[in-house]
Amino acid sequence: MASEGQRRHWEKTRSLTYIVLVIWAIFGILIPWFAKELDAFSFLGFELGYYMLVQGSLIVFVALIWIQNFRQDAIDDEYGSGE
């Protein structure tokens, strides 16, 4: 059975994953849903809704993975599961 350390490690891993999934849902689902409304704003000469679909959300996805991995590495190291 899982030790106390393993349990804590998994709890932290799980919370991090939930946060990542929420951010993913905002940029992958919510923002595309409201693209029309966002077009009222402009960004770098683009209409904001359009910008998010062709660049903004994509940049967030890339950054999100790298930040998650950075955090996850720290969690792993903390509980002695680093490599």
Partner 1 sequence: MAVSGGTKSSSFIDNLGKVYGLYTLGFLVFFALMAILEQVGVGARAIGIGFLLFTIVIYAVIGWLSRTMQVEAYYVAGREVPALYNGMATAADWMSGASFVALAGGIYFGGYPYLGFVIGWTGGYVLVNALMAPYLRKFGCYTVPDFIGTRYGGNLARFVAVVVLVVASFTYVTAQINATGTIAARALGIPFTLGVWFGLLGILLCSMLGGMRGVTWTQVAQYIVLIIAYLVPVIWMSNAQGFGIIPHFSYGGAAQRIAELEGQLGLQAAQEAIAGVRVLTTPHFDPQGGLDSWKFVTLAICMMAGTASLPHILMRYFTTPSVRAARKSVGWSLFFIFLLYFTAPALATLTKLQLLDPTLATSIIGKSVEEVMNLEWIQNWSQVGMLAIADQNGDGLLQLNEFFMRPDIVVLATPEIAGLPYVISGLVAAGGMAAAMSTADGLLLAIANALSHDLYYKIIDPSADTRIRLIVARVLLIVIGAAAALIASLQLTGILGAVAWAFCFANSGLFFPLVLGIWWKRANRQGAIAGMALGFLAGTAYLYYVYTGGTPWLGIDHLRFGMIGMAVSLVATVVVSLMTAEPDEETQAMVDEVRIPTGETIIGRSH
User: Among 8, 12, 41, 59, which residue sits at the site for partner 1 (rule: CB under 8 A)?
Assistant: 59
User: Among 37, 41, 74, 78, which residue sits at the site for partner 1 (rule: CB under 8 A)?
Assistant: 37
Tell whether residue 12 is a contact of partner 1 (CB under 8 A): no
Name the token pair of 4. Answer: 């106390």
Tell whether residue 61 is a contact of partner 1 (CB under 8 A): yes
Contacts of 38 (CB under 8 A, 6+ apart): 31, 47, 48, 49, 52
Would you call 46 helix, strand, or coil by DSSP? strand
Closest by CA position to 70, among listed 16, 4, 2, 15: 16
Q: Footprint of partner 1 on this chain (CB under 8 A)? A: 1-2, 6, 9-10, 13, 17, 20-21, 24, 27-29, 32-37, 39, 42-47, 49-51, 53-55, 57-59, 61-62, 64-66, 68-69, 72-73, 76, 81-83
